[in-house]
Amino acid sequence: MFLVPVFLLFILVSVSAEPIHVSIRNNGPRQVDYAAAADALRTKYGYFPASQSRKRQSTAGIGIVDQNTDASYFATVSIGTPAQSFDVILDTGSSDLWVADASCLSCSSSTPLFDTQSSSTLKTATGSNSETTIRYGSGAVAGTLSADTVSMGGFTVTGQTFLAVDQTTSSLLSGSVSGIMGLAFVQIASTQATPFWQALVNGNQLTSPEMSFWLARHRGETNVQPEESGGVFTLGGTNSSLFTGDIEFLNMPVSTPSFWLLELQALTVQGKSVALTTSGTTALSAIDTGTTLIGGPSDDVAAIWAQVSGAQQARGQQGLYTFPCSTNVAVTMSFGGKSWPINSTDMNLGPVTAGSNMCLGGIFDLTAGSNIPEGTGNPGWVVGATFLKNVYSVFRDSNPPAIGFAQLSSAAGGSGAGPSSNSSEPSLTSSVRTTTGTPGPTPSGSTTSSTNAAAKANIPWRVDLSILGLAVLSWLWFL
């Protein structure tokens, strides 16, 4: 995971009516263990191996960092008083916030650690319920429930509950990344704490109860650096310079929100429709910014690759498929409205081995090796960056919650008409507000605000978002 200094100079002034846009950075080339990443994702989604009363106030654009050629995306969060900054993976597929603390002996020497002794506002839980473990496909983290002032993109929540991690599975953290920020719903939080974004909504800090993503693509480029500008994460609304046309919103098809879910209703490969499984929950798709690939039910994935000449199951990499590198794989997905095409570059993860003419595909069998039958409540599909790089995505906390997609503008690397006439390039704006809360599901209290006049930038700078890419990094995203 990776160092992402987000450019945020927050000057207390006045409340901004615009969302805050955080730029995303992309990490450059690095060997990714996609089989391990697939296993991690299976565990994350329960496929275990067989063994608004007031007007919203503000918006923030946060730059995202793209790490290891679209493998992961992350942003910077500040914790404590005085503030300590950390790079965390932005993950709509989990709900807990955690960072490694100074007592973590299993953490790498390169991992920035939270110094609990230096924060005057830190509160630490005591007693039998103070220790918590969060399990991921790639391992687990354990630590102490804590509460402190947490800020991102100019927004602040006081008394935000998080896990100060003192134990991690070896190699779970990598590079400058110190933890994960879960952006799903409180119902799946291991800490049982209200996620940071929901605390902002509950505190009426946001202009609109929305968060939006543009995830940049660097796959297919040459001379990609370990970290690159990775897009923009917007809290409190959308960035109109990054999409064109209307945003197509679809309501979540579940009564109790947990993951961000939609129902996959149609899929084509090489221009041909694929008959999808529609019984039970197998059509439910978790829309997951913390995942690199797309995972689906065994029969559906087999049917997808059956449409690609020369495709076959990868040897020794359970659930993955290979295909001739010279083939452009054209896939579209529809969740009940428009059909959204996936760039063939995103479907090609590169040669299986150096010099091979067979490449790994971006869609894998999520249920391979699982002892959990399909249709038992787990999302049948997990839709990660392979798809999300091709759309502007919006997550809205409405009743019911909804997810929206729009065509990327030319400024965001899409084929759309481009930004509107009053916005020639993607830009970032930030404003600061503070919510006072307490550990648990419902933060409450007063708010203050300020505007960041210095945070505007032409191309989205970065707030780091890590999207599962390396075996290590990708594992983190599979939270």
**Active site (catalytic) residues:** 91, 288
Amino acid symbol at 223: N
Neighbour-count burial of 296, counting CB atoms closer than 10 A to its CB (0-12 exposed, 13-18 middle, 19+ buried): buried
According to DSSP, residue 394 is labeled E
Q: Which strands form 294-296's sheet, in the order they lie side by side? A: 261-263, 284-287, 381-383, 294-296, 363-365
Distance from the first to the final alpha carbon of the chain: 13
- Coil vs helix vs strand at 61: strand
Q: How far apart are CA 91 and CA 82, in angstroms?
A: 26
Neighbour-count burial of 337, counting CB atoms closer than 10 A to its CB (0-12 exposed, 13-18 middle, 19+ buried): middle
Parallel/antiparallel/unpaired status of strands 381-383 and 284-287: parallel
Q: How far apart are CA 341 and CA 243, in angstroms?
A: 15
Q: Where are the alpha helices (DSSP H) in 281-370?
A: 298-306, 344-347
Contact 414, 423 (CB under 8 A): no
**Length of the chain as a residue count:** 479
- Cα-Cα-Cα-Cα dihedral of 168, 31, 412, 1, to 10°? 20
